[in-house]
Amino acid sequence: MAHQSFRIAAAAAALALAPAVAAAQEQTLRAITAFPSGLAFSQSFLGFVEMVNERGEGVVQIDYAGGPETVPQNQQIDAVRRGIVDMQYGPASFYLGRMPEADAWVGSTVTAMEARENGGFEVMQQAFSDKLGVELLAHIDSGVQFHIYTLEEPPRDAEGNLDLDGLQIRSQPIYRSFFEELGATPISVNVPDVYTGLERNTFDGAGWPIVGIKDLNWDRFLRYRVDPGFFQTDLAVVVSPDSWEQLSEEARTLLTEVAAEYEKISHDNFQQIVAETDATVREEGMTVIELEGAARERFLDLAYDSAWSRMREAGTEHYDALRDAYYDR
């Protein structure tokens, strides 16, 4: 039910704001997503597609070709760069090895809308162009934080600090070093294999955004969640440079305007989904461990320092500008 809000909001915005367009040859962009179409994040991207197609009738359309079954995740950004597909939606942090600036979104404490206003988004556009060879169109679905989930109650020390010493926690590169600081042993498990691993008790927990925890049915096993959340989603919409150049000026203007509008629409929709999911998992018996006071601040400091330190150590001329724009803790 919640996923339908993306389509409804996009359609309403498109009808309310649709401009009168001059007759022109309609151009079509072929798009793919890093996630399967049924996941909440992909559903949000499809809301963006619908909004563009409503507003862009006669000018520009997006044809959704599918998820990783169409082009494998690890080949998608190069497929866009080479013009094999025109548009892609997925995490910027997939490319940390080539673009350390992705950590600015991971470690961000501001919204995508604020970053457009303060110049941060423009710096990220330059990084995407220089490091990945693609045009950054939007940072949608921002503001969704990550959490640590466990099978059993996570231990804390006498000061209330989270102590994951000895626990094996399903991880991914963006929070591996953070989990190690907490004493955990991060393990890499592909998303489709996590359910089986949890069912068999082969690891003790997982890091994951609050959105999607029920879609994947991981909440059947992960009965404890640590608050506060940390980091935020880093989901980019990128376009092939050749495809972008071949678009009419009208089409590029329309896509840019819809991208900025949809950043707010998707942010607000996900805040509602987060609240609904939080209420549901609590009602169904998930226990939320709320860190407080100095323990809470230490937890957040360790998280955000891990992202910004990683970017600084990787080396980028954009570090100072990105930290000023995206981090205000």
Decide if pLDDT at 211 tops 90.
Answer: no
- Mean pLDDT for 103-113 is 97
Give the pairing of strands 60-66 and 27-33. Answer: parallel
Contacts of 190 (CB under 8 A, 6+ apart): none
The larger pLDDT score, comparing residue 15 to residue 199, is at 199
Can you tell me whether residue 26 is helix, strand or coil? coil
- The two tokens of residue 283 are 């009602």
Q: What is the pLDDT of residue 10?
A: 57
CATH topology of domain 146-230+286-320: D-Maltodextrin-Binding Protein; domain 2 (3.40.190)
Rg (CA), the chain: 20
Decide if pLDDT at 242 tops 90.
Answer: yes
Give the pLDDT band of residue 192 (cuts 50, 70, 90): confident
Per residue in 38-80, pLDDT (tens digit) is 888 999 999 999 999 999 999 999 999 999 999 999 999 999 9
Q: Is 273 exposed, middle or buried (0-12, 13-18, 19+ CB in 10 A)?
A: buried
Share of residues in the chain with pLDDT > 70 (%): 93
CATH 3.40.190.170 in the chain: give the residue spans.
Answer: 4-144+233-273, 146-230+286-320
Decide if pLDDT at 90 tops 90.
Answer: yes
| Matching residue, tokens 């309310």 | 16
Q: Is 279 exposed, middle or buried (0-12, 13-18, 19+ CB in 10 A)?
A: exposed
Report DSSP state, residue 31: E
Assign domain 4-144+233-273 one CATH number from 3.30.540.10, 3.40.50.360, 3.40.190.170, 3.30.1130.10: 3.40.190.170
Give the pairing of strands 135-140 and 60-66. Answer: unpaired
Q: What is the pLDDT of residue 86?
A: 98
CA-closest candidate to residue 51, choices 12, 106, 21, 24: 12
Average pLDDT score over the chain: 92
Of 26-30, 34-38, 48-52, 104-108, which gets the smallest average pLDDT? 34-38
Give the pLDDT band of residue 329 (cuts 50, 70, 90): confident
